[in-house]
Amino acid sequence: MNAFESIIIAVDAVRSQKLRSGLTLLSIGIGVFAIIAATSLMTTLNRAVTGQLADLGENSLLIQRTPTINFGTNWAKMRRRKNITYMQAKEFRDRMATTNMVAISNQNPGQTIKSGEESTNPDVTLIGIDDMYFTVNAVSVSSGRPVTEAEVNTSRPVAIVGEDIVTALFPRIDPIGQRITIKNQTFSVIGVLTKKGGVMGQSQDNRVLIPITVFNKYYTWEWDASVDISVKAVSKDMLPVTMDEATGIMRALRKVKPWEENSFEIDANDALGGQFVGFTTALLVVAWISGLGALIAAGIGIMNMMLVSVKERTREIGVRKALGARKRWIVRQFLIESITLCQLGGITGMIGGVLTSWGVTEILRNSNMPMLMFVFPTSTVIFSVAICTIIGLGFGIYPAWRAANLDPIEALRYE
């Protein structure tokens, strides 16, 4: 009996014993589901936070209307906060005394950039910036120049593009001076960002920067009109002082009473990153322990199924042995069946985990986290296939050994 026939027998066993097989396969599916869904979601969240913090240099603060990622805080309450307006941000910058390095920005992902007959995929991040963006953030241009204060104040239609945009639209020509179109608005390319590569699967070069005044005019609406403020302290020692000053100014601008909590979020980039990594790691460990526990329990169920199968097919095994079947052939047959059963449950869990993580990502993107981009958990899917194979082997070995060692005479007499 070849491997394909063994797989067919395993599938038939599932069909003939739907309830018993279904419960066992469900256990495997739940374990794989927990591992894949948790890994994909945690990777997606980590990538989003890392991507947002990657552009912040050392000694930097980030001020936003809502947290970058919610650690259990009531989102309904956060969404009721008023936007940090561009005018508030400008006044904040004017009031800061401990540093003059304050940048104002906003972003809108999922844009398509066009030039002539060429166009990018609809996954470009469009960022509105002011003239201090390159001073405050760890971002630079490899050719051309940054946006100037005059261009921001006069809403000039100029753009700085990442290397992915250059590759897609201008593979054989100098992009400087070329024109691009974003939602029917035309921009002149004045610079190319220095290549940064990917961070946790997300390209840092798939972006376009334009003056924030133009961004506010054409690419925002009510729910996402709140700007982000990046502040860079003059030194690491001055960071706490700068944070205290920034907090006081923002509370005053947003008319927060002394006894009320902040109506905004302010965090140092290193503290926020460390806090988030610890949070997601803890969740991931819990999910993996739960998933592996479910897989071990499912393995016991697989062993039980295979032992029942051996008993039900005792006469068949006796006939095969009487006709000259060797022990290793029978062992191989039952191991293939055991692995097939595990893989059937694993595939169900993989599909459920991927679809769930994708769905949750889309819900969060459409609610209050537009920076999230779904990450397909390739390595975790490969691991799940491997672990299902190992469980099939480990828990199928005893039933296979028992089948191979049946006495052919006694097996032929079995009814």
Quick one: tokens of 405?
Answer: 């060692």
Beta-carbon neighbour count of residue 140 at 10 Å? 11
Coil, helix or strand at residue 318: helix
* Best CA proximity match to 181, nearest among 205, 161, 154: 161
Beta bridge partners of 202: 199
State residue 332's pLDDT score: 77
Domain locations along the chain: 3-48+276-413, 82-263
Beta-carbon neighbour count of residue 12 at 10 Å? 11
- CA-to-CA distance for 355 and 210, rounded, in angstroms? 35
State residue 320's pLDDT score: 72
State residue 34's pLDDT score: 80
- For residue 171, pLDDT over 50 is answered with yes
More confident residue, 342 or 120: 120
Residue 201 pLDDT grade (very low, low, confident, very high; cuts 50, 70, 90):
very low
Once rounded to an integer, what is the mean pLDDT over residues 208-232? 86
- CA-to-CA distance for 196 and 168, rounded, in angstroms? 17
State residue 384's pLDDT score: 82
Quick one: tokens of 8?
Answer: 């067919």
More confident residue, 143 or 359: 143
**Are 10 and 340 contacting, i.e. CB atoms less than 8 angstroms apart?**
yes
